[in-house]
Amino acid sequence: MKTILVATDLSERSERAVRRAFNLAELHTADLTVLSIVDSDLPDDIAVQMTRATEAQLAQLCGAISSYSYKARVKTGDPQREIHAVADELDADLIVLGVHRERPWVDMVAGTTMERLVHASQRPVLLVSDPVMHSYRRVVCGLDMSPSCAAALRAAADLAPEAEIDLVHAVHVPFRGFLAPSGAEAEVRPFVQEARKRVDAWLSEIEPPKRCSSPKLIAASRVQALGQVFRESGADLIALGAHGRSSLAPTYLGSFTEELLRMRPSDILVVKR
């Protein structure tokens, strides 16, 4: 990880993202760029004043966080477009964002800023919501045996080189009400055993990091399975592979990823392939 871009609107909620970006930059000795966007709809004279004020605020914020070297950028325009433009210019290995300001009606229609950014990007995106107390120590990665999942696993290992990685796969039980009405272990065991063969074969192909635990297979929904392992492990990061879809689709990233982004149980790393 050589180049990190963090975007901030200078709000309290995005300060955590800047702190995490500095933490990661120092850990990886990476180039760090801190970006803020000024609304392009402002009158020119006000936009100039806002740009100068933003530059001063960025310097004050970053100086209070760390003495690590960084570059500050202030751009005028649409946040999503400008973030991607700067990320492409830098060839950033990671985009870091703060938690999203909730706007339920707009988000339902157009998707959150996070969802739209990930949908349009082939770069890993880290959504930061937790206070930054230390480097990531434990990561939970959901397995669906897709290329995006493999990419998320590799990105998580790069991002958190000292963290343990817990793998979890949600086992689908078809016609569960008929084949496993009580949910007893004996009823779901054949499905878990079959899934174990597929997961082991997939892992042997992608050669996961040695820091990965033996995958936990749980006969439950993906959210339930991931949530169970997340709570039991005390993880501080969730890694997800997002399935990109057309911008005309009802959902941008798939309902599973969208649900976790809106729940925000911890910091979330999203990788789309």
Query: What is the residue extent of each domain of the chain?
Result: 1-98, 132-273
CATH of 1-98 among 3.30.565.10, 3.40.50.2000, 3.40.50.620, 3.40.50.720: 3.40.50.620
CATH of 132-273 among 3.50.50.60, 3.30.700.30, 3.30.70.2390, 3.40.50.620: 3.40.50.620
**DSSP for residue 122:** S
**DSSP for residue 239:** E
Rounded distance between C-alpha atoms, residue 185 and residue 192, angstroms: 9
Which two tokens mark 219? 């006969």
**Rounded to the nearest 10 degrees, how much is the dihedral formed by the CA atoms of 55, 60, 61, 65?**
140
Rounded distance between C-alpha atoms, residue 21 and residue 5, angstroms: 8
Q: Please state whether beta strands 216-218 and 125-128 pair in parallel, antiparallel, or not at all (unpaired).
A: unpaired
Identify the bridge partners of residue 77 per DSSP, sorted by sequence position: none
| pTM of the predicted protein model | 0.87
The sign of the torsion formed by the CA atoms of 233, 235, 238, 239 equals negative
pLDDT in tens for each of the 273 residues of the chain?
Answer: 899 999 998 887 789 999 999 999 999 999 999 999 988 777 778 878 888 999 999 999 999 999 999 999 999 988 888 999 999 999 999 999 987 555 443 343 334 666 677 677 789 999 998 989 899 999 999 999 999 899 999 999 999 999 999 999 999 887 666 666 666 778 888 989 999 999 999 999 998 988 999 999 998 888 889 989 999 999 999 998 886 554 434 334 456 666 776 666 789 999 987
CATH topology identical between 1-98 and 132-273: yes
